[in-house]
Chain A
Amino acid sequence: MMKWIFGVLVIMAATIVVAMIGGAPDMVSGGPHPEYAGMSIGGDSAARLDGLWIEGLILYFATFLMAPAFMAFGVAEHNRNKTFWTMMGGVTALNLVFATLLIVFYVDFLNTGETFMLLGFPAPTAMMLYGCWGTAALYTVIYIAGFNKFIFTPEDEKTFEALIAAKNAEKTEA
């Protein structure tokens, strides 16, 4: 699994290098607000991502994929069974659905200049606030529900107790 993680990290770094070679469009990271000194603006949404969409999307989706990869890496290999992968895969898919909807609604806004409000925010931002933030909480549900099955199984507990016993025996001998 580490080779996969390493590969994605290298791809992310290479993506940044490729993007740098292409150069930065104007206002790629915003500029000062013409009227208010303490504010910055993004300006022309489409123009500032011109030629950088692919690189931006690689970094964006890599971030959403790396998070569950690190979580899975933290679970002992022998505990990563079919149920674990199904649950992690399901939550990751759901999380990615909202991450994708965010992009779809954003691109639609860039093309049409129009969007709709959802629970107080424009649709793409609502996907971020309610969708991406909310669905990622399901990883916590897996942690709680699967604690005895994947995180710290009864066998793990026995090994832990044996380690403590060995340590105590060593101390007594010393």
Chain B
Amino acid sequence: MEAFREPIILACIGVYFVICILVGIWAMRKTHSASDFFIAGKGLGPVVVGLAVFSSTLSGFGFVGGPGLVYNMGMTSVWMVIVSTLGYAIVFYMLAKRMRVMAEIRDSISLPDIVAARYSSKAAGGWMAVVVILGVLGYLATQILAMSTVLQSILGNTEMFEGISLITCAVISVSVLIFYAVTGGILASVYTDLVQGLIMMVCGLLVVVAAAMAVDGGFTAASSSLLADDPEAIMPFGSGGMFAAVAWAFMFGVGIAGQPHLITKLMMNRTVKDTKIILPLSIAGYAVAAMLWISVGLVMRALVLQGNHDPLGLPDDAAPEFLTAYANPLLAGVVFAGLFAAIMSTADGFLNIGAAAIIHDLPKAIRGKPLKNELWWARVATVLLCLFATGFALYARYNSGELVALLGAFGWGTFAAAIFPVVALGLNWKRATANAAIFAIVLSLVFNFSVKLFGIAMPFGMDGGFISMLVSMIAFIGISYIEKPKPLQKDIEAIMDL
């Protein structure tokens, strides 16, 4: 079997791509309106939404960056995973009911729609659309770059595709993404998420077993190796220290309720009662898939410390090296397909909310009404957005280091800081005002981009996104307390009373 490693991996990825295309064709037949395209006509079952919620949360970062961080700094980054049980619960307690009810009563099809309705402010909705579009460009570009790089490393190892360029790989992977995202909209996106989520869960389970077997004595021996070398690495706060770990815990635990690609999925389920099934499914799926994150990084660090594996060139090589050296070819193939699944499931979610912001939310904020024939424009916007993000990613890769850094700025922390107070707090607090919402959004953007552009170091290794979240929440609540609140519209008040 080892002799056929490369063909097996290619076959797994090929099968995965074909599944995505078939789902796109199937979903196209069921997509008849903009509401179908953006929120699946509010008709999705709980299993589909549950797996879609977790698979869009766990991007390529979870499969490559996560193990890399554990290899680099031990347990510090594991707090991002540990708080997932708290984080998903926060999302559902604060948002699941209100987002779904708001979508029904106000016919909202996007996050900016909900913000505009909640604050009776087109400006607040418009600013939310700006956040979404900027975030989509940044996030999407990094996902596309990751997808192309992984495909290049896989194809480049084969005789047939030796020396294949990054641009060619970008064209191949983006074509598949565009095909199913354009034809089937969110319906294709969530059903591919379903497949992608299942693949990720299988990967998580199998890789933990493979990781435990890779070290003599399993995880106890791996932990002992880390303990002997640098105890802090395997202690709960890792080598990054207590402050960095707590900052990540807060930012990922609370900030998950500010991730637009995730929370918009809460508008798509059939009934509010479905959230009883969606929440445990999301948590279980994430927990199983995230085991890969912890086990691979830990085991690779132990293997290198024990002298059983050469030191890695880059921490992010932890997962690919592990798969190459210690995984059965079939498992490696499934995990590489899982990696594409993780990247694509996040990317298609962003494409969807980005297209909605461009053709639905901005025109509504500027002209006061949406475009005619939204479905057609949605498809056009999806293609253009994806092509623009691809060009942006490739340009940044080859020409400008600063641009790459700027892309990275629009990560989890910026969304968390801009969206958590405005949406998660705002939908549960009648006193919140439109001015406070706009100020919090603008402050988050300025803070995060300034930190990145001017290279401002945060104290004690804490993530800038955490500081930004604190500042943004305090500003939002503080301004709302200072201002005299405007009376809410009757239906909005009734929704907030539920």
Among B93, B218, B235, point to the contact of A109 (Cβ < 8 A): B235
Interface residues of B in 174-190 (CB under 8 A from A): none
Chain B interface helix/strand/loop/mixed: helix
Closest residue of A by beta carbon distance from B223:
A121
Instruction: Please determine whether A163 and B105 come into contact, CB atoms closer than 8 angstroms.
Output: yes
* 8 Å CB interface, B445-482 against A: 459-462, 467, 470-471, 473-474, 477-478, 481
The answer to whether A38 and B311 touch (CB under 8 A), given A13-B470, A120-B218, A137-B85, is: yes
Question: Is B431 in contact with A2, judged by CB distance below 8 angstroms?
Answer: yes
Pick from B132-140, B272-280, B356-364, B398-406 the stretch touching chain A.
B272-280
Interface centre among A27, A39, A106 (most CB of B within 10 A): A39
Indicate if the CB atoms of A139 and B304 lie closer than 8 Å.
no
Q: State whether B467 touches A16 (Cβ < 8 A).
A: yes
Interfacial chain B residues near A122, Cβ < 8 Å: 223, 227, 231, 234-235
Chain A residues in 8 Å Cβ range of B95: 74
B473 touches A24 (CB 8 A): no
Contact among B229, B244, B275, B473 for A29, CB-based, below 8 A: B244
A136 and B314: CB pair below 8 A?
no
Residue A97, interface by CB 8 Å: no
Which listed residue, A9, A163, A164, touches B470 by the CB 8 Å rule?
A9
Contact (A28, B460) CB under 8 Å given A13-B470, A70-B94 = yes
Those of A33-86 within 8 Å (CB) of chain B: 33, 36-43, 45, 48-49, 52, 56, 59-60, 63, 66-67, 70-76, 78
What 0/1 readout, one digit per residue, does chain A (74-115) give for beta carbons within 8 Å of chain B?
111010000000000000000000000010001001000001
A150 CB to nearest B CB, Å:
9
A30 touches B232 (CB 8 A): yes
| Interface size, A (range) | 35 or more
Nearest residue, chain A, Cβ from B481: A6
Nearest CB in chain A: distance from B282 CB, A: 9
Q: Tell me the minimal C-beta distance from B291 to chain A in angstroms.
A: 10
A139 near B242 with CB under 8 A, answer: no
B105 / chain A contacts, CB cutoff of 8 Å: 163-164, 167
Residue of B nearest to A70 (CB): B90
Partner of B474, one of A10, A73, A74: A10
Question: Could you tell me the distance between the alpha carbons of A102 and B245 in the complex, rounded to whole angstroms?
Answer: 14
Q: A6-B474, A29-B241 are in contact. Are A39 and B246 (CB under 8 A)?
A: no
B379 interface hit (Cβ, 8 Å)? no
Proximity bits, B220-252, A CB within 8 Å = 1, else 0: 101110010111111111111111101101100
Contact residues, B336-390 vs A (CB, 8 A): none
A19 to B478, CA, bound (A): 23
Q: A143-B276, A167-B105 are known contacts. Are A38 and B313 too (CB-CB below 8 A)?
A: yes
Bound complex: CA A156 to CA B189 (Å) = 32
* Given A73-B94, A140-B283, also A67-B86 (CB < 8 A): yes
Of B72, B82, B86, the contact of A40 (CB 8 Å cutoff): B72
Does B219 belong to the interface (CB within 8 Å)? yes
Question: Which residues of chain A (124-151) have a CB below 8 Å from chain B?
Answer: 124-125, 127-129, 132-134, 136-137, 139-140, 143-144, 147, 151
Which residue of B has the minimal Cβ distance to A133?
A: B82
A155 nearest in chain B by CB position: B498
Contact A144 B223 (CB under 8 A): no
Which residues of chain B from 56 to 93 have any CB-CB distance to chain A below 8 Å in the complex? 71-76, 78-79, 81-90, 92-93
A71 and B498 contact, Cβ closer than 8 Å, known pairs A40-B239, A42-B238, A136-B89: no
Q: Is the CB of B459 within 8 A of A16?
A: yes
What is the CB-to-nearest-CB distance from B233 to chain A, in angstroms, rounded to a whole number? 6
Query: Which among A12, A120, A140 is the interface contact of B223 at CB below 8 angstroms?
Result: A120
Q: A39-B71, A71-B93, A127-B236 are in contact. Are A30 and B459 (CB under 8 A)?
A: no
B315 at the binding interface (Cβ < 8 Å) = yes
Q: Which residues of B contact A45 (CB under 8 A)?
A: 231-232, 235
A10–B470 Cα distance when bound, in Å, is: 8
Q: How far is the CB of B29 from chain A (nearest CB, A)?
A: 28
**Would you call A9 and B473 a contact (CB within 8 A)?**
yes
CA distance A61 to B459 in the complex (A): 19
A143–B273 alpha-carbon span in the complex (Å): 11
The answer to whether A169 has its CB under 8 Å from any CB of chain B is no
Q: Are A39 and B301 neighbours in the complex by a CB distance under 8 Å?
A: yes
B20 part of interface (Cβ distance < 8 Å): no
A contact residues around B84 at 8 Å (CB): 133
Q: Is the CB of B243 within 8 A of A121?
A: no
Selected contact of A140 from candidates B224, B233, B280, CB within 8 Å: B280
CA distance A128 to B86 in the complex (A): 13
Question: Which of A16, A40, A109 is B73 in contact with, Cβ under 8 Å?
Answer: A40
A136 touches B86 (CB 8 A): yes
> CB of B22 within 8 A of chain A?
no
Among residues of B, the one whose C-beta sits closest to the C-beta of A141 is B280
CA distance A17 to B239 in the complex (A): 23
Q: Are B272 and A133 in contact (CB under 8 A)?
A: no
Contact B272 A128 (CB under 8 A): no
Which of B104, B231, B301, B477 is the one whose CB lies under 8 Å from A5? B477
What residue in chain A is nearest B229 (Cβ atoms)? A41
Please report the C-alpha to C-alpha distance between residue A133 and residue B246 in the assembled complex, in whole angstroms: 14
Contact across chains for B461 and A29 when beta carbons are under 8 A apart: yes
Which of B97, B105, B239 counts the most chain A CB atoms within 10 A?
Answer: B239
Given A38-B312, A63-B246, A167-B105, the answer on whether A13 and B474 have CB atoms closer than 8 Å is yes
Extra 14 A-B pairs, beta carbons < 8 Å, given A129-B78, A140-B279? A2-B431, A6-B477, A38-B317, A43-B232, A49-B241, A59-B250, A63-B246, A63-B253, A67-B87, A72-B93, A73-B94, A127-B236, A160-B272, A167-B491
Cβ contacts A to B, 23 pairs, < 8 Å:
A16-B459, A24-B459, A28-B241, A30-B76, A37-B311, A38-B72, A38-B315, A38-B317, A42-B230, A45-B235, A63-B250, A67-B87, A67-B254, A74-B90, A117-B220, A120-B219, A121-B219, A122-B227, A125-B234, A133-B82, A139-B86, A163-B101, A164-B104
4 A-B pairs with least C-beta separation:
A42-B232, A29-B461, A120-B219, A74-B94
